[in-house]
Amino acid sequence: MFEFDYVKAKSLSEAAALIAANPEAKLLAGGMTLIPALKQRLAQPSHLVDVGGLPELRGIEMKNGGLAVGAAMQHHEVATSAVVRKAIPALAYLAGHIGDPQVRNRGTLGGSVANNDPVADYPAAVLALAATVVTARREIAAADFFQGMFATALAEGEIIVRLLFPVPRRAAYEKFPHPASGYAMTGVFIAETAAGVRVAVTGAGPGVFRWSDAESALAKNLNPAALDGLAVDPNDLNEDIHATREYRANLVKVMAQRAVQKLLAQDK
């Protein structure tokens, strides 16, 4: 590791001021991604500004009919929250299937969304549910937020404060986890809302994406069989030692069909 100063911010305004005054500073939340990157000398920040305990980034509540989740809420807290389980059980399920207990007790919603790892789970829920990312400066719609592999609409040092999730009629998430890390080899989040059906895919491609053909098919017939004749183009997907493009394309369809099945088993 390179040397750096660690500062535990006491308020959102203090964190924002520290970041503004130190252009080489980085925000720290659960440290599940950032600390390994520092250990491997992949980043050399002058300061780590710890926002993990900031009261402004904590809490889960219903707000104007939507679900507001603080950016510093750990995956375990989201998974076990009675408010999340009642409003969007699929989101609680997703959070409860991230990594392992150690990761779920450190990693945060804000850290995951800011990092936008192409194999992370939360981006699928954020995009399928058309959530809003609320930062210390502005509100960013999910459709504008994710901009490809590890890229987001966040400006340097911009702090995510909370996410606002519209409550769907029903939703479901299914993933094929990598056996070692738990990351999504492919994960599909399906949300049924008054405006239609939204299908977001993570893990398979270079970034989270909506599968529009599946959305149209499911809008006409909300049934797993509606996806039988569809396929995502393997050329748009990732290939590595774990899976070929074609295998991932098949996983997208299988996970989507399982998610629809799961969604249909719920009361409206």
Does the footprint of ligand FAD cover residue 207 (CB under 6 A)? no
Give Cα 179 distance to the centre of its chain: 19
- DSSP, collapsed to helix, strand or coil, labels residue 255 as helix
- DSSP, collapsed to helix, strand or coil, labels residue 17 as helix
Q: Which of 159, 226, 237, 249 binds ligand FAD (CB under 6 A)?
A: 159
Which of 67, 124 has the CB closer to ligand FAD? Answer: 124
Q: What's the token pair of residue 75?
A: 């995956």
Count of residues in contact with ligand FAD, rule CB under 6 A: 32
Q: x-or-dash pattern for ligand FAD, window 24-63, by CB under 6 A? A: --xxxxxxxxx----------------x-----x------
Does the footprint of ligand FAD cover residue 114 (CB under 6 A)? yes
Show the CA angle centred on residue 129, arms to residues 127 and 131, nearest 5°: 75
Q: How far is the CB of 124 from ligand FAD (least distance, A)?
A: 9
- DSSP, collapsed to helix, strand or coil, labels residue 119 as coil
DSSP state of 97: T
Q: x-or-dash pattern for ligand FAD, window 161-200, by CB under 6 A? A: --------------------xxx-----------------
Does the footprint of ligand FAD cover residue 111 (CB under 6 A)? yes
Considering only the stretches 62-70, 103-111, 212-220, 259-267, report the one whose residues sit in contact with ligand FAD under the rule CB under 6 A.
Answer: 103-111
Which of 107, 224 has the CB closer to ligand FAD? Answer: 107
Q: How far is the CB of 195 from ligand FAD (least distance, A)?
A: 26
Q: How many CA atoms lie within 13 A of 123 on its CB side?
A: 34
Paired strand residues for 190:
172, 199
Does the footprint of ligand FAD cover residue 127 (CB under 6 A)? no
Does the footprint of ligand FAD cover residue 203 (CB under 6 A)? no
Task: Return the residue nearest ligand FAD (CB atom).
Answer: 111
Residue recorded with tokens 């987001």: 152
Which of 47, 75 has the CB closer to ligand FAD? Answer: 75
Q: How far is the CB of 228 from ligand FAD (least distance, A)?
A: 29
CA distances from 205 to 47, 145, 222 (A): 33, 17, 25
Q: What's the token pair of residue 196?
A: 């239609």
**Is 241 in contact with 256 (CB distance < 8 Å)?**
no
Does the footprint of ligand FAD cover residue 120 (CB under 6 A)? yes
Does the footprint of ligand FAD cover residue 103 (CB under 6 A)? yes
Which of 178, 210 has the CB closer to ligand FAD? Answer: 178
**How far from each other are the two terminal CA atoms of the chain, in whole angstroms?**
51
Instruction: Say which residues have a Cβ less than 8 Å from residue 99's Cβ, sequence separation at least 6.
Output: 32, 75, 107, 181, 182, 183
